[in-house]
Amino acid sequence: MNTLNENALDQLFLKARTINIWSDKQIEDEKLKKLYSIARLGPTAANSNPARFLFIKSQDAKARLKPYLDAGNVDKTMKAPVTIIAAFDPKFYENMPKLFPHVPDARYWFEKSPDMGHGAGFMNATLGAAYMIIAARAIGLDCGPMAGFDNAGVDKEFFGTSGYKSNFLINLGYKADSEPHHPRLPRLDFTEACEII
C-alpha cells in the first residue's frame, strides 16, 4: 500500500486542528451514519467493538447536555451542529458471539474478570472514539474533543437504562472561516517520546 498523498495527510493530521468555532453548516443524519460505518472498521481487541456513540443533535438533547459541561466548554458545544458522547458499554462482551464467532468462549475472556473486562473494554472504546475523530476528518468534518464534563451526570442523564459509561465528548461540524487559531502547540520530538531498540 502507498503513503497517502500530501492533501490527505494534511486533512487527517498535518493541518488538522482541534476546532472550537463553528460555521452554521449542519450535518445530515446520513453523514453521521457514514461516519460510523467508517470508524467502526478500526481494529479493537478480539474485534470487541466496545465503543458506543450518542449523537446529540436536537436542541432538546443539547439542553440536556448543557448543565454537565465545564464552563469553558459550554458555548462551543451549544454552537456545534452535533456533539458525540463517546461511551463504553461495560457489557460489550455480550456481543462477542456475533463479533468473534469462530471462538465461542471469547465472551468469557472479558466477562469472567471484571478488571480485565473493564480495562480491555475501556481501552478499546477509547480507540473507537479516536477512530471516530480520524474518520470524521477523512469525510471532511472537523472535531473538537472534550473531557471537561461531569461524566457521572451525563451517564445518569443519557445512559440510565443502558448502563453505558461516557468516555469523552466530540464536537462535530465544519470550522468557521474566521477561526482565530492559536498556533499549533508543540508535540514531543521522536527522541522525547520514542525509542527504537
Ligand X SMILES: Cc1cc2nc3c(=O)[nH]c(=O)nc-3n(C[C@H](O)[C@H](O)[C@H](O)COP(=O)(O)O)c2cc1C
Span near ligand X by CB under 6 A; candidates 33-41, 102-110, 134-142, 146-154 = 146-154
Binding mask 16-55 for ligand X (x = CB under 6 A): -xx-------------------------------------
Distance in Å, CB of 75 to ligand X, minimum? 11
Binding mask 84-123 for ligand X (x = CB under 6 A): ----------------------------------------
* Residue number, 29 or 179, with CB nearest to ligand X: 179
Q: What angle is formed at CA 137 by the lines to CA 90 and CA 2, rounded to 5 degrees?
A: 105
Distance in Å, CB of 167 to ligand X, minimum? 8
Q: Which of 8, 9, 14, 147 binds ligand X (CB under 6 A)?
A: 147
Q: Is 185 in the site for ligand X (CB under 6 A)?
A: yes
Span near ligand X by CB under 6 A; candidates 40-48, 58-66, 141-149, 188-196 = 141-149
C-alpha dihedral over 47, 54, 10, 78, to 10 degrees? -160
Q: Which residues bind ligand X (CB under 6 A)?
A: 17-18, 72-73, 145-148, 168, 184-185
